[in-house]
Amino acid sequence: MATGTEGALSPVTAIALVGALGVGSQWLAWRLRMPAIVLMLVAGILIGPVLGIFDPIRDIGPLTGPMISIAVAIILFEGGLTLNFHALRDAAVGVKRLVFIGAPLGWLTSALALRYGAGLSWESAAVFGGIMIVTGPTVIAPLLRSARLSRRPAALLQWEAIVNDPIGALAAVLAFSVVSVLTVAGTTPQEATMELVIGIAFASFLGTAAGFGIARSFKNALVPEYMKVPVLFTVLLAAFALSDAVLHESGLLAVTIMGIVIANANLPSYTELLRFKEHATVLLVSGVFILLAANLDFAALAKLNLWQAVLFVALVVLVARPVTVFISLLGSGLPWREQVLIAFTGPRGVVLIAVAGLFGDRLNALGFEDAALIGPLAFVLVAVTVVLHGFTLAPFARFLGLTGASTPGVILIGGSKFTTGLAEALKKADIPVLMTDPNFGHLRGARAAGISTFSGDILSEAAEHRLEFINYGTLVCATDNDAYNTLVATDLAPEYGRENVFQITREKSDSARHQLPTTLGGRDLGPDLGFTDLEQLIREGWTFRITPLSDEFTLDHWRSQRPDSYLMGTIGDSGTIKFVKSDAEIKAGSALRLLSLRPPDGTTDAQPPADAAS
């Protein structure tokens, strides 16, 4: 291991360690079904203040602060890039209230919690209270991904977090300007106000201009496809730097506005840009959390009065946040369950720690000794809310009935006899199922069987607004059009995970002109048969059956008794369906059920109770 000084890591080694721990924590959290933020926090504290392996200031040096600032700017830009106004229909009223009423009200309630809970002076409480408006998009996004919230409360929390982040930073700038005027000679209130107004106006103009410029150049093909992401990154960093040079922290506002403008410009390449930015954000969120946790100073934490810190966090979580949300959403028409969920969900994240540390140092330089507590208080608040909401958001949302189905369902694309039969089998196995087809008549059989249906294109904007996609974890493309199946599977694979997207076997074609690339599409479903063959089997009387396995009736027994049947999938004890190939080797357990397509032979299994027609 290369080191520069005794016990220090080289910058390259340090950055590699941060990346490995960040991504490794996210992967481990996925495997253990735990909140990733919690593991990243623990990993950073372990390698930093606990074991002393990594010290950001020692190992990376003065670049630590700028790296965190740029990472936060990119994270906020990516957040703005997800804020499409078309997706705001159901939550528009709530978002406006949480921003225009909730932000100033949250500033006031947070300042009161700091003054009477943590014992800070009014000056320090006013500055830190402004920063506490933020609810952390770096934390909200992973939590929403794991909690699988319903569409409207998820949209409210996401929009509030991203829009209020730059507002919180600017509130801190405003409060600090006022404090500076009152404590530093030679600065007039008019000068401070003018500086703030000019900074906000410049940031807004710059963000809007940069967003429109990118959108126009991309639409008019002024930038080649392979250069779009590099150009986007360059303009983003330039906008952030220029705005920050005019007014510190206003760069966050500029990049957020830039992202929102691009999100609503209807760019043809928008989806590709968004996915790339999502991947970059996963890396940046991981890295920033590891850096901040590793940079924690236990000596600074020791300055906190334990009971005051506990009282402060309790007031923020149980009083300030709920009061702010309930007053903001009063008369909004939102169901009370959604209001309760939002009121008690307010995790703080990277932006709070980064900006709090900056203004804590500045206030301390002005002579406010209690400002030294701002950084430690920010870290305690982030740590508590991350752990609290990381472990409680999903069960709390389930208790309120605001999550997807407990058993992830299946979306069947295409209305036909084959998909109708499969849907009926899944429904009788208590697996949520939805059938979609652009042709209303193709869904007649499914509607008659009581299957949930959507008449329209699954890729349409109407489907995005009307369907609760979080209720479903598996996608099966089974229309009579191989190209359409491949298109849907390819487009939605990043959303569901490629391991959960299937399509029926493509029809064999002797002509190379009609063969689709094997790199596109989803995984093959069941037997090696195309749409025409599968439909013919159903017409001949083939049916879907579900067979429970037991210690007496094993998978080998089933295979020997049903050599002509096609194995379609397995259903675990949790009710989750897993589609497999007919010849797949599976680990059979006593609680496993087999989903198969069986010929109309009229025979029964050797163990009658084990086979239930679905």
Mean pLDDT of the 377-382 span: 87
Q: Tell which wins on pLDDT, 392 or 285.
A: 392
pLDDT at 35: 66
Residue with structure tokens 């220090």?
A: 8
Give CATH 1.20.1530.20 domain extents, the chain.
Answer: 11-399
What confidence category does residue 610 fall into, taking pLDDT thresholds of 50, 70 and 90? very low
pLDDT at 181: 67
What confidence category does residue 387 fall into, taking pLDDT thresholds of 50, 70 and 90? confident
Is a pLDDT exceeding 50 seen at residue 605? no
What confidence category does residue 236 fall into, taking pLDDT thresholds of 50, 70 and 90? very high
pLDDT at 386: 83
Mean pLDDT of the 403-412 span: 78
pLDDT at 11: 84
Residue among 350, 356, 378, 357 nearest 72 (CA): 350
Question: What is the Cα–Cα distance from 402 to 503, expressed in whole angstroms?
Answer: 30
Mean pLDDT of the 567-580 span: 84
What confidence category does residue 109 fall into, taking pLDDT thresholds of 50, 70 and 90? very high
Sheet holding 409-413, edge to edge: 452-455, 433-437, 409-413, 472-477, 501-503, 523-524
For 409-613, CATH gives 3.40.50.720
Q: Tell which wins on pLDDT, 460 or 397.
A: 397
Whole-number average pLDDT of the chain: 81
Report which residue type is found at 400. L
**Contact at 8 Å (CB) between 127 and 63?**
no
For 396-418, b/e burial (b = at least 16 CB within 10 A) is: bbeebebbbbebbbbbbbbbbeb
Phi/psi at 346 (5° precision):
-145, 60
Task: Report how far apart, in Å, the C-alpha atoms of 61 and of each of 15, 57, 66, 295, 362 are.
Answer: 12, 4, 10, 12, 20
Is a pLDDT exceeding 50 seen at residue 3? no
Q: Give residue-wise pLDDT tens across range 81-97.
A: 777 776 666 566 788 88
Q: Tell which wins on pLDDT, 14 or 179.
A: 14
pLDDT at 434: 92
Q: Which pair of structure tokens corresponds to residue 578? A: 């897993």
Is a pLDDT exceeding 70 seen at residue 602? no
Q: Which pair of structure tokens corresponds to residue 21? A: 């721990």
pLDDT at 604: 43
pLDDT at 186: 58
Task: Report how far apart, in Å, the C-alpha atoms of 199 and of each of 56, 150, 252, 553, 593 are.
Answer: 31, 38, 12, 74, 64
Among 283-297, 388-402, 412-426, 458-472, the range of highest mean pLDDT: 412-426
Give CATH 3.40.50.720 domain extents, the chain.
Answer: 409-613
Q: Give residue-wise pLDDT tens across range 503-561.
A: 988 876 554 555 666 667 788 887 888 888 899 999 999 999 988 888 778 778 888 88
What is the CATH T-level fold of the domain 11-399, as seen in this structure?
Na+/H+ antiporter like fold (1.20.1530)
What confidence category does residue 320 fall into, taking pLDDT thresholds of 50, 70 and 90? very high
Is a pLDDT exceeding 60 seen at residue 477? yes
Helix and strand tally (H, E) in the chain?
A: 25, 11
pLDDT at 608: 38
Sheet holding 566-571, edge to edge: 577-579, 566-571, 593-598, 543-548, 612-613
